[in-house]
Amino acid sequence: MLPEESRKIVDECLDRILPEDWQQCRSIIESVAESARVAVRQTETASEAGRDEVTRFMTGAIIAAVLDKLESPEIVEAEQAQLFAMSASIEHQAAACDWFIEQCGRPTFDTDIPELAFVPGITLH
């Protein structure tokens, strides 16, 4: 379960998101993630590596909560798959991985498919 402050962030995201517009959804979540990065960087109690880890965790948890609340149907487009890949939810990550494999075969790092170039740290299962 997310802390109260994070739940407010999720609710704010949901108020601004149209579930059918995954590009807009991704843009809003990236904006929220950047705000989280700035807030975490201002803390003096953690090392830079620790702050990066906290930011990644917060971003993934927020994405997972937003996607869960949207009750997203199966993945149908790259923007949606990218969000699922960035989620902290293993189920979301596996669904994104399956979608990319179905669409493109096993992705490689030297791809001409721009959608695959964005997915950070995706691990194929």
Q: Indicate the number of domains in the chain.
A: 1
Residue 53 lies inside a defined structural domain of this protein: yes
Cβ neighbours for 24, distance < 8 A, ≥ 6 positions apart: 17, 18
pLDDT in tens, the chain (125 residues): 667 777 777 787 777 776 567 788 788 877 877 777 777 677 666 677 777 777 778 888 888 888 888 877 789 888 889 889 989 999 999 999 999 888 876 545 555 555 555 555 544 44
119 vs 48: CA distance, rounded Å: 23
Residue 40 in domain: yes
| 125 belongs to a structural domain | no
Q: Is 38 a member of any domain?
A: yes
Domain with 100 in it: 4-118
Q: What's the CA gap between 111 and 116, in Å, rounded? A: 7
